[in-house]
Each structure stands twice: as C-alpha cells, then as structure tokens.
Amino acid sequence: MRYLLDTNTVSYLFRGEGQIAAHMSRVTPAQIAIPAVVVLEIRYGLLKTPTRRIQAQFEELLRWITVVPFDHETTVHAAKVRANAERRGRPIGAYDTLIAATALQFDSILVTRNVSEFRFVEGLQLADWFNATGPNRPLRINEPQPPAYLSASACGATQRASRSISPSNWVI
C-alpha cells in the first residue's frame, strides 16, 4: 500500500467534501489502506450518528481496500512516535499516534487534512487530498496515469450519490 487514509479523509469522502474522490481515482485500490484504528473511529462515529447509507458505503469501501491491523511491530513505532513527540513538546493524541505509527511501519503516505497534528512526526510522509492542489499533493509528474476503469468524471467531488462505493465511483 502506498497511501494510508486518516479518519478525517474518510469522513470527507463520505460527505462528498474536498477532492478526496478525485485523488482516489488516480490510484488503484491496492495502493490505498485504512489503519484498524481509523475503522474503529469511523464505526464509533456511525454508532453515535447512525446513517444507514453511510454505514453501507463504509462497509463497501472496506471490501475494496485493505484494513491494516495494529500489531506488535506497530507498538514499536507507536512508542517511538509518542516518546519523540513528548520530547519535542508536541504530544499528539493517542489515536493519531497509532495512525502515524501504522504509516511509518508500512512506509506509507498518510493522507490527512490534519497536517498540523502530524507534521512533527519524524519520517512521516503526509499528503492532503482535500484540495485539488496543495503543497503536500502526493501525485507527481512521474507517477503512472490512473487506470481506465477509474475515470475522473465518475469521481467528481461535487457528486453525492446513494450508490455503492467501488473503485469506479469513489464518491459517495
């Protein structure tokens, strides 16, 4: 996996905000993953404010992309992230520590709009897919073109639909 989605990125995707779907259309589902802790946060949010449509879409999304488990190796990275953050006087939240650790463990780019929380984590690669253009946009000139089955028109961020999620229609 190349990109690891933070909780806010998944939330923006489901609300149809920002350019998340457009960015997702430029990569294959195999390049995208979600840490287990993000799944926990999204499920918790859905229990607090149950929306059947979003619950169904979230389950469909999980069918297409990998959920990265929290394991022993992640704990090693998490301990380092937390200790370094506290040593620098810039502690981050417990869940964000686990999310950052997962991204570091798999050498993935963390896709988040919460750059201010993560920017001081040593070695962590960040991208903000909320905006079409931005300083942390991970899509570079030398990257391959998006697969034909992921057309940009099928992923316009202004579209809101009750259809299911699949690589051909990342927008919700």
Go through the domains of the chain in sequence order and give each one's CATH number: 3-155 (3.40.50.1010)
Across the chain, which distance is largest between two alpha carbons, in Å?
A: 47
Give residue 158's pLDDT. Answer: 34
Q: DSSP string of 91-132? A: ---HHHHHHHHHHHHTTPEEE-S-HHHHTTSTT-EEE--SSS
Q: What is the pTM of this model?
A: 0.78
Q: Is the pLDDT of residue 13 over 90?
A: yes
Give the lowest-confidence range in 23-37, 111-125, 130-144.
130-144
